[in-house]
């Protein structure tokens, strides 16, 4: 290697690194998103400070220790049960969490409420706002009732100022990482270099002092603004806060968690007084029982340990185009296409001349394969234009041979469906023999058998 590279280019949308300036990102397809960055270690100002303090050992100290001599820090409760559930029990000392979400979804509201609740419980918390003035934050805190003598506010965009002395706090919130400006690098706030420098100094401070720290990061639907994607591998936990602006429900989920599971879903409702935990989340994604519309089927999906009734809606209508359209929301497009192929091959229901649209009510993103059977039933119901019974739910995975497979923890799902008033459930024939529940349980072996049972 003759020449030493001293600069590289980073896509501000997705963080892709290239050695020359590209007009269009080869990873995410964004135009003009590259920003020049000096490579650390080639005589530049981008300094990566060494961690020290109690969190990470310095090189000179680094020696093997016995596992039993290392204390595992206890969790710190966030004061909101839904938040603790998603985190896996509370904040981890020294853990850095990124809370990502679209603008206006309620990130500041959520964190302000948490700071209020923790301060109320006698803990010292610091809320740093780089976006709003102190009076704006205070006004919001008063509206949310998150006022406590112990809560400390800073309006600053310089991490070196507020990171001094973080060891006194039980939690530090930095709102937002895009608004901060580190003096160590010379670019504008919000650029990849700045975001990484700010995040690194926050991470060093958290690890060094064993204080949990939260970074707020904005994302937009098309990923135009630099941000959370760049940080995902740097932080310990990534929480995404989502919801439809038209609806008041907000969903909190961990997409990465070094200290816990990533499958718990927290459900909130946005109200005048801030975000309230939803009392009966089991029915949040379900509009009620209507049985006169074709293309609608219900199922019970598990999000972590919690069952939720979900409503899958399908619409198949004759296409005017040579290539029929397939659009899905809430279900993976590939999954829907695969099940359409299974329906055609195993049940003789062709969608070749139909545009097919699939939607899951309430903004839920279904990842549970147990919803396959409901999706197939909804698709078939729409293709045949015949409604399914409203008090019936479908629980099972569908294989390529058109077989219906068992789904995990079916008993808990049946109990939830029974509680919400369902009277009939279709499950796989291979499910355990003794399923106790107050519903009629119909066992099916194949998709054909299922359709014969519900759309005779």
Ligand X SMILES: Nc1ncnc2c1ncn2[C@@H]1O[C@H](COP(=O)(O)OP(=O)(O)OP(=O)(O)O)[C@@H](O)[C@H]1O
- Which residues of this chain interact with ligand X, rule CB under 6 A? 101, 103-109, 131, 143, 218, 270, 272
Query: Binding of Mg ion at residue 33 (CB under 5 A)?
Result: no
Q: Which letter does DSSP use for residue 39 in this model?
A: P
Q: Determine the interface stretch with Mg ion among 8-16, 102-110, 117-125, 301-309 (rule: CB under 5 A).
A: 102-110
Burial 169-205 (b: 16+ CB within 10 A, else e): bbbbbbbbbbbbbbebbebebbbbbbbbbbbbbbbbb
Residue 232 Cβ vs ligand X, minimum distance, rounded to whole Å:
18
Residue 146 Cβ vs Mg ion, minimum distance, rounded to whole Å:
14
φ/ψ of 119, rounded to 5, equals -65, -40
Pick from 108, 182, 194, 299: which binds Mg ion (CB under 5 A)?
108
Closest by CA position to 125, among listed 142, 111, 144:
111
Collapse the DSSP code of 257 into the 3-class scheme (helix H, G, I; strand E, B; otherwise coil) and give the result. Answer: strand
Burial 228-263 (b: 16+ CB within 10 A, else e): bbbbeebbbbbbbbbbeeeeebbbbbbeebebbeeb
Q: How far apart are CA 402 and CA 380, in angstroms?
A: 13
Calculate ∠ Cα 253-98-186, nearest 5°: 155
Q: CB under 5 to 8 A by kind: which of Mg ion, ligand X, Zn ion, none does 109 bind?
A: ligand X
Residue 271 Cβ vs ligand X, minimum distance, rounded to whole Å:
7
Residue 36 Cβ vs ligand X, minimum distance, rounded to whole Å:
27
Whether the CA torsion 109, 114, 120, 126 is positive or negative: it is negative
Q: CB under 5 to 8 A by kind: which of Zn ion, Mg ion, ligand X, none does 71 bind?
A: none
Pick from 3, 7, 9, 13: which binds Zn ion (CB under 5 A)?
13
Q: CB under 5 to 8 A by kind: which of ligand X, Zn ion, Mg ion, none does 25 bind?
A: Zn ion
- Minimum CB distance to ligand X smaller for 218 or for 413: 218
Burial 283-321 (b: 16+ CB within 10 A, else e): bbbbeeeeeeebbbbbbbbbbbebbbbbbbbbbbbeeee
Q: Site for Zn ion (CB under 5 A): how many residues?
A: 8
Residue 196 Cβ vs ligand X, minimum distance, rounded to whole Å:
20
Q: How far apart are CA 51 and CA 207, in angstroms?
A: 8
Residue 175 Cβ vs Mg ion, minimum distance, rounded to whole Å:
6
What strand order describes the sheet that includes 354-360? 326-329, 354-360, 306-318, 296-303, 392-395, 424-428, 440-444
φ/ψ of 14, rounded to 5, equals -125, -5
Name 154's bridge partners.
Answer: 128
Q: CB under 5 to 8 A by kind: which of Mg ion, ligand X, Zn ion, none does 447 bind?
A: none
Structure token digits, residue 41: 């270690």
Whether the CA torsion 255, 259, 264, 270 is positive or negative: it is negative
φ/ψ of 399, rounded to 5, equals -95, 175
Q: Determine the interface stretch with Mg ion among 103-111, 147-155, 282-290, 307-315 (rule: CB under 5 A).
A: 103-111
Q: CB under 5 to 8 A by kind: which of Zn ion, ligand X, Mg ion, none does 270 bind?
A: ligand X
Binding mask 64-93 for Zn ion (x = CB under 5 A): ------------------------------
Q: CB under 5 to 8 A by kind: which of Mg ion, ligand X, Zn ion, none does 41 bind?
A: none
Whether residue 220 contacts residue 48, with contact meaning beta carbons closer than 8 Å, is answered with no
- Minimum CB distance to Mg ion smaller for 33 or for 108: 108
Q: How far apart are CA 162 and CA 362, in angstroms?
A: 40
Within 40-93, where are the H helices? 81-87
Residue 267 Cβ vs ligand X, minimum distance, rounded to whole Å:
16
Calculate ∠ Cα 176-177-179, nearest 5°: 70
Q: CB under 5 to 8 A by kind: which of Zn ion, ligand X, Mg ion, none does 11 bind?
A: Zn ion
Residue 13 Cβ vs ligand X, minimum distance, rounded to whole Å:
17
- Minimum CB distance to ligand X smaller for 107 or for 123: 107
- Minimum CB distance to ligand X smaller for 108 or for 193: 108
Residue 334 Cβ vs ligand X, minimum distance, rounded to whole Å:
31
Structure token digits, residue 106: 């309620």
Pick from 14, 125, 254, 380: which binds Zn ion (CB under 5 A)?
14
Residue 103 Cβ vs Mg ion, minimum distance, rounded to whole Å:
8
Q: CB under 5 to 8 A by kind: which of Zn ion, ligand X, Mg ion, none does 36 bind?
A: none
Binding mask 18-57 for Zn ion (x = CB under 5 A): -------x-xx-x---------------------------
Binding-site ranges for Mg ion (CB under 5 A): 108
Binding-site ranges for Zn ion (CB under 5 A): 11, 13-14, 16, 25, 27-28, 30
């Amino acid at each position: 290697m003759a020449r030493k590279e001293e600069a590289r280019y980073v896509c501000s949308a997705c963080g892709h690194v290239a050695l020359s300036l590209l007009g269009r990102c080869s990873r995410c397809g964004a135009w003009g998103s590259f920003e020049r960055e000096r490579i650390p270690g080639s005589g530049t100002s981008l300094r990566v400070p060494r961690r020290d303090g109690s969190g990470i050992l310095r090189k000179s100290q680094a020696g093997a220790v016995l596992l039993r001599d290392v204390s595992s820090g206890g969790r710190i409760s966030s004061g909101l049960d839904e938040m603790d559930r998603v985190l896996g029990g509370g904040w981890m000392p020294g853990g850095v969490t990124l809370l990502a979400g679209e603008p206006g979804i309620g990130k500041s509201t959520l964190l302000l409420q948490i700071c209020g609740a923790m301060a109320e419980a006698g803990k010292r918390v610091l809320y740093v706002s780089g976006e709003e003035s102190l009076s704006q934050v205070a006004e919001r805190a008063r509206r949310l009732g998150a006022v406590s003598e112990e809560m400390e506010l800073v309006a600053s965009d310089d991490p070196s100022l507020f990171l001094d002395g973080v060891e006194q706090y039980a939690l530090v919130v930095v709102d937002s990482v895009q608004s901060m400006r580190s003096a160590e690098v010379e670019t504008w706030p919000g650029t990849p270099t700045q975001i990484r420098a700010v995040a690194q100094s926050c991470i060093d401070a958290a690890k060094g002092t064993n204080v949990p720290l939260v970074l707020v990061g904005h994302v937009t639907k098309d990923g135009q603004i630099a941000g959370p994607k760049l940080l995902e591998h740097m932080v310990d936990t990534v929480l995404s806060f989502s919801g439809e602006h038209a609806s008041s429900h907000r969903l909190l989920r961990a997409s990465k968690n070094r200290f816990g599971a990533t499958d718990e879903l927290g459900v909130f409702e946005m109200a005048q007084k801030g975000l309230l935990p939803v009392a009966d989340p089991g029915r949040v994604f379900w509009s009620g029982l209507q049985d006169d519309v074709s293309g609608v089927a219900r199922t019970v999906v598990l999000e972590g340990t919690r069952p939720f009734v979900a409503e899958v809606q399908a619409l198949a209508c004759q296409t005017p185009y040579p290539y029929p359209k397939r659009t899905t929301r809430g279900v993976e497009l590939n999954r829907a296409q695969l099940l359409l192929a299974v329906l055609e091959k195993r049940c003789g229901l062709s969608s070749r001349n139909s545009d097919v649209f699939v939607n899951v009510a309430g903004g839920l993103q279904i990842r549970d394969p147990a919803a396959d059977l409901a999706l197939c039933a909804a698709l078939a119901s729409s293709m045949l234009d015949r409604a399914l019974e409203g008090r019936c739910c479908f629980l099972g995975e569908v294989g390529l041979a058109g077989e219906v497979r068992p789904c995990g923890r079916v008993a808990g799902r049946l109990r939830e469906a029974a509680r919400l008033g369902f009277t009939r459930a279709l499950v796989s024939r291979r499910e355990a023999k003794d399923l106790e529940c107050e519903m009629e349980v119909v066992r099916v072996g194949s998709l054909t058998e299922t359709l014969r049972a519900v759309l005779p």
